Structure 1
Amino acid sequence: MTGACSSSWGGGEMEAELRALARQMGIEDRVIMPGRVPHERVAGVYAMVDVLVYPRYPMRLTELVTPLKPLEAMAMGKALIASDVGGHRELITDGETGVMFPAGDLEGLVAALGKVLSDGHLAATLEQEGKAWVSRAHTWAKTTSVYRDIYDAQVHVG
């Protein structure tokens, strides 16, 4: 999984509202919304980003499903901030591989972002530790090893 990237970025249901908000705030010249990015260009997009933020709300899906985007960010050596929903808690050690904030808490998100942006040492730690953790725990060999026993058991049944 190390270095793997997805092509499902951008173009979501909130895009028009976010563009309008950026215009209203006078920051539209500093906000990039690339829409869907072809798979072969995703690594280049990650290269342009310093910090990735994943503000998921708590719901059945986010409590049960482990998201791939934070894993991709860590694999690319990027600092990340994420809400404390179940799937994120599986991936992120707060202050080590990412910074967590209470889901739905705008002030918590702002504080976490301010913390990472103002503390170069913390950002570097998140980048290094996140990438190292993905390299240790989420290689294809490690991720797929659980299936070996399952397949071996099925082959030896008959």
Structure 2
Amino acid sequence: MFSMMNGLQHYGQQALRAARYIGQSFMVTLEHMNRLPITVQYPYEKIIPSERFRGRIHFEFDKCIACEVCVRVCPINLPVVDWELIKSMRKKQLKSYSIDFGVCIFCGNCVEYCPTNCLSMTEEYELATYDRHELNYDQIALSRLPFSIVQDSTIQAHSSLGYLS
């Protein structure tokens, strides 16, 4: 008889503990219902990147002096600089410049150490393709001006998310 009473008491304690845990979890759920949504409806809404965001690299062909500093400071020796030496002027002439964004780690060293500031980071982050060879940008693709999210009237731009502020 005593063991049966002890078992009922233990069962009652467990039921109360379970009810308390359920109540606590329900309170957490109610607290989260008052928050702003975190999810962004991506193709129609986009987040404006911060000022220091490191996106696609923009290249200005006319400013480049083919010094190859960008190649030397790159941790993976990524930029491919093709140049020819003009002996009469004792000067390098840039023939082609390319970066493979499928391999690039977007560290920004090339932009930081470029002596002529012909490289700059943009806000572009939509570089996805179905073929990885399309991520190899030559000087023409790199010199394309960056597209600004703010100027597109079909997209609602968010400057920040609720949980970040």
Interval containing the TM-score (normalised by the shorter chain): under 0.3
Kindly indicate whether structure 1 or structure 2 has the higher relative contact order, using CA contacts under 8 Å at least 6 residues apart.
2
Output the TM-score relative to the length of structure 1.
Answer: 0.22
Q: Which has the higher strand share?
A: 2
Q: TM-score, normalised by structure 2?
A: 0.21
Task: Give 1 or 2: higher helix fraction.
Answer: 1
Structure number with larger C-alpha Rg = 2
